[in-house]
Structure 1
Amino acid sequence: MLTRNGLLEALPEDRREALAALSHEVTYEAGARIFNEGGSTDRFWVIRIGNVALDVHVPGRQAAAVQSLGAGALLGWSWLIPPRTWHLGATALSAVQADEYDAAQVRALCADDPVLGQAVALYVAGIIGGRLRSSRRRLLDLYGPYGSGADL
């Protein structure tokens, strides 16, 4: 059950099995909608195989892809932070296999085990920070006079 993924690797070794026990494997076909922006966050995933596009709703148009995630990536962080609604949508770009976690069970485990809870919170904060930096670079490339200065 203990697959190599960033979330489990971020935990102290003696806490990994407790979190892994709350997951089960799911699959999505290419093109499957996994969740919609504004929906309730009752679960999250760690991608094993495949790619998922994160997108933002654009009124009157097709959703605009803002990032893609691959193997080992955490899909969904909004489950941890109130109001616990999706900030983006997600669609499988290819066939996807992932470990799915029930968000309420994970939050309860984190509340019962502060060491595990802190490790999960720090991991998710790092994910949010990385995605924010990535979005900032893309915005600079699109709208900045000299781009972001980073080779993407």
Structure 2
Amino acid sequence: MKSIEQLLQQHPFFHGLPATDRQLISGCGENCVYSSGEYIARENTPADFFFVIREGRVAVETYMPSHGALCLQTLHDGDIFGWSWLFPPYRWTFDARALEKVRAIRLDGKCLRQKCEEDPRLGFELMKRFAKIVAERLQATRLQLLDVYSTERPPPAEVR
């Protein structure tokens, strides 16, 4: 059986991170399993963790009163879920629900924030890695919106 540190070493998010940093981070982690349909996070509840998805699919959802749960994105093996642990007020902004059995590493945000306070270099490194994910997901959302609304827009007026 592999240790949390060994599992993190294999994950793309942690590639290039010094072994000492992975060891510090792994001290905040634990393996967890979620059953299909189980909520991993609920909107507006405390965001005390982030998740390294090892196996399975997770739906990132928001609730719309007229439609119910709306899936914004589906995350897979190798993805990271959750950056709300980094930013006050440390509350989830979306729901996350297992679409099938999910194996993940759950990393304690409070533990990590403390380690980042003690080692600002580690904090900056994690912030850069999370900023990259945030930027990628914002771009994906932008493209999704363009796709959704592109057929509803009238063609541009002709210029003469």
Deviates more, 1:70-79 or 1:53-62: 53-62
Larger radius of gyration: 2
After superposition, the CA RMSD in angstroms is 1.7
Maintained 8 Å contact 1:19/1:106: yes
What is residue 47 of structure 2 aligned with on the other side?
Answer: 41
Indicate which of 96, 119, 125 corresponds to 1:90. 96
2:84 matches 1:78: yes
Indicate which of 2, 18, 29 corresponds to 1:23. 29
Question: Equivalents in 2 of 1:12, 1:77: separation in Å?
Answer: 21
**Paired amino acid for 2:61:** D
How many corresponding residue pairs?
A: 147
Q: 1:10 to 1:84 in 2, by over 3 A?
A: farther
1:59 Cα offset (Å): 1.4
What is residue 68 of structure 1 aligned with on the other side?
Answer: 74
**Secondary structure of 1:85's aligned partner:** coil
**Paired amino acid for 2:14:** L
What is residue 150 of structure 1 aligned with on the other side?
Answer: none
Maintained 8 Å contact 1:56/1:65: yes
Indicate which of 109, 121, 124 corresponds to 2:130. 124
Q: Which has the higher helix share?
A: 2
Question: Equivalents in 1 of 2:100, 2:48: separation in Å?
Answer: 23
TM-score when scaled to structure 1?
Answer: 0.90
What is residue 55 of structure 1 aligned with on the other side?
Answer: 61
1:60 Cα offset (Å): 4.2
TM-score when scaled to structure 2?
Answer: 0.85
**Structure 1 spans left out of the alignment, 5+ residues:** 148-152
**Structure 2 spans left out of the alignment, 5+ residues:** 154-160
**Paired amino acid for 2:47:** T
Maintained 8 Å contact 1:52/1:91: yes
**Paired amino acid for 1:50:** G
**Paired amino acid for 2:45:** G
2:113 matches 1:114: no
Question: Equivalents in 2 of 1:80, 1:133: separation in Å?
Answer: 20
1:6 Cα offset (Å): 2.9
